[in-house]
A and B are shown apart, each in its own frame.
Chain A
Amino acid sequence: MIKTLKYSFYDLARSNWTYLYMLFYLLTALSLLFLSNDLSRVIVSLMNIIIVLTPLIGMMLGTMYYYNTRDFAELLLAQPIQRKSVFLGQYLGLSLSMTLSFLVGLGIPFIIYGVLVSSEVWNFSMLLLVGVLLTLVFAALAFLVAAMFENKIKGFGVAIVVWLSLAVVYDGLFLLAMMLFESYPLENAALGITLLNPIDLSRILIMLKLDISALLGYTGAVFNKFFGTSLGLLVSLGALSLWVLAPLGLFLRVVKHKDF
């Protein structure tokens, strides 16, 4: 597994996408820092970008990478190694390269700005952690979708739909449900539904950390009321980790029974 990881990573370390992705975060962070002097406000703006774009890019690069390496995977699978090692290695290789692009892209501008000696250092770390977790979640979802659909067009379509549902449609449906069932006690249901969306979880995680109740939103407020800040942080972090492991486990299962 370590070997497949290593060579996946080498391969990706020379891909233009990797650098484009890094450059994007670099420029975004630089311009936001340039425009505003309020670090915590920059972190909030960045959060809004990260929770939408990291999933989208993770989804796209993940499906693309799986399809691109599919034929080569065949050659690897003919070697005396286990299927699990081949695919786990590829997943980790992609995740590692995306994670590094993300960390370097955001890290450099902030470190130059002096975030390490500011009071925002932990909030910034939380932002990075959430970005990394989202990358892991959506790369796993992307691999799962791509492994389930042989047809690339279908695969990309489904990947976009998954992203749209979690990033956009979910919010709309949530609001609609709130309006329709206004008179019912919805808090527990809202809590459950939030756990089903890694993007909402990430937002709550950062908002709890930043302690900005105005931006918590309904689900965040429920979360905060139910668990309190520190338990809330732990619960959402745990749920997000499950969001990494579940699609990854499913992906490995799908791949185990697949014909190549």
Chain B
Amino acid sequence: MIKINNLCKSFGKNHVLKGVDILIPEGNITAVLGPNGSGKTTILKILLGLVKPDKGNVFWKQRITHGDYSYRNKIGYLPQIARFPENLRVRELFSMIQDIRQQPSDLEPLLDAFKLRPLLNDRLRHLSGGTRQKINTVLTFMFDNDLFILDEPTAGLDPVAMIQLREIIARKQKEGKTILFTTHIMSLVQEMAQQIIFLLDGRIYFQGSVQELQKLHGEHNVERAIARILEVNEHEGVLDSVQPTASTL
């Protein structure tokens, strides 16, 4: 279980997270949603220790992650923006990360799934955006992690790769792994996520199952339900006056 307590983070005057509490059960697929700039990436990066919180704690497997680095050997992270050393070849990038992690890896089936085998000897700087994203995906899933953190994993993927990605995620969940992802594609949420965390104005606006969200709004479509939240918010005007619980909706 991942437990996040009272997380606060500001970048200068920009108060991105204003006290966020999250519980993520083991073995679940959780979607972190929210408008652009609402702090989704920031939360994921705090989990990884890339961003240091101003306040609050993250517990994973009953341990505080802050100040530690070894816990990351059980996490696969797919960053929102994929950039690699320009002059290395694809093959060398994989062996570099393997070399750094020193863990058993399962590269071959992933190379086939994303049809990357013909590109193994290409220079990373010549690759298209979607191909980079595929490589990013392979890097994330090639190790046997307990937790997968995916920041907009579908960005730039073609439909074939998208299907592969969904299958991989579903398979990992069956194996009992925990998956945490952000996306703006609601059909993906509806199809895959068991839990939704909706961030708005620095707080958790909604945390619960997809069904709960649908029931709350009398909408079967997650996209509509989310749009409803945002509309209500605009009517209320001052966001801070809204209680950050689902009950006020």
Contacts and interface: CB of A to CB of B under 8 A. Distances in A.
Interface of A: 3-4, 7-8, 10-12, 14-15, 68-69, 71-72, 74-83, 257, 259-260
Given A72-B83, A75-B84, A259-B50, 12 more contacts: A7-B85, A7-B92, A10-B87, A71-B82, A74-B50, A74-B79, A75-B77, A75-B79, A79-B73, A80-B72, A257-B52, A259-B45
Contacts of B49: 77
Contact of A79 (B51, B72, B81, B85): B72
The A interface, classified by DSSP as helix, strand, loop or mixed, is helix
Nearest to B53: A259
Interface residues of B, number: 30
B139 A76 contact: no
Interface stretch (B21-29, B56-64, B93-101): B93-101
A91 B52 CA distance: 23
B127 to A, nearest CB: 14
A7 B88 contact: yes
29 contacts: A7-B85, A7-B92, A7-B99, A10-B87, A10-B88, A11-B85, A11-B86, A11-B88, A14-B88, A15-B87, A68-B86, A72-B83, A72-B85, A75-B77, A75-B83, A75-B97, A75-B139, A77-B48, A78-B48, A78-B50, A78-B72, A79-B97, A80-B71, A80-B72, A82-B69, A259-B11, A259-B45, A260-B45, A260-B50
B52 A259 contact: yes
B193 interface: no
A99 B135 CA distance: 33
B75 interface: yes
A14 B87 contact: yes
B70 interface: yes
B77 A76 contact: no
A80 B73 contact: yes
A81 B50 contact: no
